[in-house]
Amino acid sequence: DAKTTQPPSMDCAEGRAANLPCNHSTISGNEYVYWYRQIHSQGPQYIIHGLKNNETNEMASLIITEDRKSSTLILPHATLRDTAVYYCIVRVDKEYGNKLVFGAGTILRVKS
């Protein structure tokens, strides 16, 4: 299974962009990259996902390198409520189904 590597923690000033890196050098060609976040041990919340192209939605942007071995999640204007654990995840598809392979995540602390 492909695995992801993320820095254990990052700080960001409120109102500034938060750039969260992720390495997934063993990703296969048809495996998607997903980003979720988790606040106070609630259920993970979907942020964004992509395969090859950069993606943007109302929450964030996802930049995937051309070789697909790494990606960056960008929160354009971080707020205190964005403080959470952010998971970069590879979705592994098999004949029998699919699963999300979580890493340890990055604790993002947004500070005023």
Partner 1 sequence: ETGVTQSPTHLIKTRGQQVTLRCSSQSGHNTVSWYQQALGQGPQFIFQYYREEENGRGNFPPRFSGLQFPNYSSELNVNALELDDSALYLCASSLAGVSGYGYTFGSGTRLTVV
Q: Which window, 19-27, 33-41, 56-64, 75-83, contacts partner 1 (CB under 8 A)? A: 33-41
Smaller CB distance to partner 1: residue 40 or 81? 40
CB of 26 to partner 1, least distance (A): 17
User: What are the CA-CA distances from residue 43 to residues 3, 23, 37, 39 (Å)?
Assistant: 21, 24, 9, 8
Neighbours of 89 (CB within 10 A): 22
Residues in Cβ contact with 52 at an 8 Å cutoff, skipping those fewer than 6 apart: 64, 68
Q: Which stretch binds partner 1 (CB under 8 A): 18-26, 40-48, 56-64, 69-77?
A: 40-48
Q: DSSP code of 33?
A: E
Which amino acid would we find at residue 26? T
The binder of partner 1 chosen from 23, 72, 101, 109 (CB under 8 A): 101
Binding site for partner 1 (CB under 8 A): 32, 34, 36, 41-46, 49, 51, 87, 91, 94, 96-105
